Structure 1
């Protein structure tokens, strides 16, 4: 993989996400939801997080400016959708504050982080209940998605504000989610846990659920590194993360990708979750959370993902928005089309690969 190839692919993915024309998005019924960047929700949030990381790592100041412009255009929507899934865009606020020094970013981040700490719905064991912008309720449910969509922001806010209470809560939320969702036998994560029923619902070890944690946990620990001692919580998180990483490495297909349900090798291979897992393994290896040899898994994924990026930058093979479904089989029927989170997770992976290429 040449650095120039990685950089070219990353630019295409970034441009399609931020500037792709509607005529290129497809003609399915979810087109606007999938690719309209100007919504304050998790889908656009994942994309914006990736653009900010791309700008930070590569020094592309234009990308940082586009993130700031996106916030200016869309912040009017934020207070009307105060749910766990709408926390994702706030994860860029600490970086914007670091880069711009504008007090709005710090003040708004503190306000929202305090809302999460004091008012967001919780399950009976104290985990953030997964709440969404759509008119749907998932009472007493813990979803793997929450770690990336909300806990990442809380960890970044904790760093920016030097708030130990927020840092401890972010760490506690990671552990609560891993304990609830991890299959102790295999190490893989289920998509969701129902605290009321006491089960994993469909019991699907969904590709992207594992990805949200494979990439989200090291991102969170990286933010909290200066504020944590080697507490019992941290030790258990590291132990569980390593178990997850080893389990995922074992189930990677020869292609370099993972099936849309990771323990179902005959299911279709899904790009966004594969990119998220590979990004997480790269980052975890750099942080010493997993053996350095696991970068080889990510190298294979990068090669496979590059082949799924079109000339216009659209990432193919991405499954549509997926709540906890009624059966494992239902995940294999989720339609495939480009999405902002698919672009975002792919951009995160390429950004990390570009950064690592300087060390090799």
Structure 2
């Protein structure tokens, strides 16, 4: 899949954006596993399009306070380590500056974006916290880990459904958005990819978390709670997960690629790291085989294609996204969407590490 992605990816179309960041991060991880120099060079070439000599980042604006724009910054850590170039250190500092001044709600949780006041989205945990954790680890900001754990725990507290254990997509502390429950503030549905971002965030944050930190066990406990709920809604026939997780039989719902790949990645890596029981590796294997059998195709040029990824979903904005079931299933399904491809590559690397055969091409 990495080779197919590189053949399709045109650097002229690169964007400093979370989904491109995820896909390029997956290629970087593949380079680390395979020691393939072309993969490492691709990442450096990609960063050269954005990180300027003075450490500024082309198209990035701190004052937007958009957590989505932090995720691609994870690529800079490795580039700084490889090259020692000062521009990379400055760019990391620029992104850290945003998180230092990011607006927060009254519970001290990051706003998802400046344009979404008082709102926390599950997506935003992945967009900001793995970067912040790696920054804290590399630059010895040990007190920052308390804040990171607070963000992860706070959103679980306000989005977790007591009946299913699943997490609603978002929480509006102000309860002013039409999509927000007037009593709880949470949105109305369990969107697969939102929870996928969240469990990937916990898994990646734990890579950096000090082993002796008091909140580390809290994060592992959350991971186990959410993973247990996800296993209950895994499709028996295919091993995949639905766009809206708890409504498999509702007309319009479909088996969604990116969420399924994210869950495979989190389950496989969580098992490898000892956070999850071995049952979750079996679940990951079923999900991975489901992706290969149902959503991976070979196109006319012999390149691998990943079908079945929701192109994008959110809440609010213009036109207004109301968080309804009808809204989530109406978003376009995009082949080779970078959110799906990046997640699939990460999942495949974990499954290969577990000794499960990976299709390449």
TM-score range, shorter chain: 0.7 to 0.9
Cα distance, 1:10–1:111 mapped onto 2, change above 3 Å: closer
The residue correspondences of 1:200-279 to structure 2 (distance < 5 A) are: 200-224=185-209, 227-231=210-214, 233-254=215-236, 255-266=238-249, 267-279=253-265
Given candidates 295, 304, 314, the residue that maps to 1:313 is 304
Cα distance, 1:164–1:230 mapped onto 2, change above 3 Å: closer
| Equivalent position of 2:54 in the other structure | none
* TM-score, normalization by structure 1: 0.84
| Equivalent position of 1:335 in the other structure | 332
Residue 303 of structure 1 and its aligned partner are, at CA, apart by 1.1
Cα distance, 1:243–1:70 mapped onto 2, change above 3 Å: same
Residue 201 of structure 1 and its aligned partner are, at CA, apart by 4.7
Residue 78 of structure 1 and its aligned partner are, at CA, apart by 4.3
Residue 185 of structure 1 and its aligned partner are, at CA, apart by 3.0
Name the stretch that deviates more: 36-45 or 183-192.
Answer: 36-45
Given candidates 147, 154, 179, the residue that maps to 1:176 is 154
Tell me the SS of whatever aligns to 2:171. strand
Segments of 5+ residues of structure 1 without an aligned counterpart are: 1-8, 21-35
Alpha-carbon separation, structure 1, partners of 2:235 and 2:138: 39
Name the stretch that deviates more: 142-151 or 54-63.
Answer: 54-63
| Equivalent position of 1:42 in the other structure | 18
Computed over aligned residues only, the root mean square deviation of the Cα atoms, in angstroms, reads 2.2
Residue 115 of structure 1 and its aligned partner are, at CA, apart by 2.5
Segments of 5+ residues of structure 2 without an aligned counterpart are: 52-56, 176-182, 316-320
Q: Give the structure, 1 or 2, with the largest relative contact order (CA under 8 Å, sep 6 or more).
A: 1
Cα distance, 1:64–1:200 mapped onto 2, change above 3 Å: farther
Asked if 1 retains the 8 angstrom alpha-carbon contact of 2:60 and 2:69, the reply is no
Alpha-carbon separation, structure 1, partners of 2:73 and 2:311: 23
Residue 275 of structure 1 and its aligned partner are, at CA, apart by 0.2
Asked if 2 retains the 8 angstrom alpha-carbon contact of 1:37 and 1:340, the reply is no
Give the ranges of 4+ consecutive aligned residues of structure 1 lying more than 6 Å apart after TM superposition: none
Cα distance, 1:200–1:346 mapped onto 2, change above 3 Å: farther
Corresponding position: 1:80 with 2:61: yes
Asked if 2 retains the 8 angstrom alpha-carbon contact of 1:10 and 1:350, the reply is no
Asked if 1 retains the 8 angstrom alpha-carbon contact of 2:174 and 2:185, the reply is no
Asked if 1 retains the 8 angstrom alpha-carbon contact of 2:168 and 2:186, the reply is no
Tell me the SS of whatever aligns to 1:203. coil
CA shift digits 1:310-360 (9 cap, x unpaired): 32233110011100342133212222013111111111111111222289x
* TM-score, normalization by structure 2: 0.84
Residue 228 of structure 1 and its aligned partner are, at CA, apart by 4.4
